[in-house]
Amino acid sequence: GDSVTQMEGPVTLSEEAFLTINCTYTATGYPSLFWYVQYPGEGLQLLLKATKADDKGSNKGFEATYRKETTSFHLEKGSVQVSDSAVYFCALTRVNAGKSTFGDGTTLTVKP
């Protein structure tokens, strides 16, 4: 079955540091890939997405590239801010599966 494996957290960085959160997946066919962000006490918000190989999703300074050869969708940001502190979820959706598969989430804490 489908699966998503995320880098285990928690991740603690200083403000303006470079961020990478690794995500790899297992799925048949050509899934769409997503990163969601969850701030404390809230639901999930879509951060970025990519629907086919080599697509790059980007939003709010975050980027992730759909790499089919390595089945990866790593999240990166060049300079994190304290306000980026949250839990980040990698997810995939296959058209004929309907539902999405989520990773376990990675907690990011950015210190001033």
Partner 1 sequence: GAVVSQHPSRVICKSGTSVKIECRSLDFQATTMFWYRQFPKQSLMLMATSNEGSKATYEQGVEKDKFLINHASLTLSTLTVTSAHPEDSSFYICSARDLGQGIYEQYFGPGTRLTVT
Site string for partner 1, 44-73 (x = CB under 8 A): xxx--x-x----------------------
* Among 34, 35, 62, 66, interactor with partner 1 by CB under 8 A: 34
In the complex, the smallest distance separating the C-beta of residue 18 from partner 1, rounded to whole angstroms, is: 23
Asked if residues 94 and 27 have their Cβ atoms less than 8 Å apart, the reply is yes
> Is residue 105 a contact point for partner 1 (CB under 8 A)?
yes
> Is residue 87 a contact point for partner 1 (CB under 8 A)?
yes
The whole-angstrom separation of Cα 69 and Cα 84 is 29
> Is residue 35 a contact point for partner 1 (CB under 8 A)?
no
87-105 burial code (b ≥16 CB/10 A, e <16): bbbbbbbbeeeeebbbbeb
In the complex, the smallest distance separating the C-beta of residue 13 from partner 1, rounded to whole angstroms, is: 18
Asked if residues 31 and 92 have their Cβ atoms less than 8 Å apart, the reply is yes
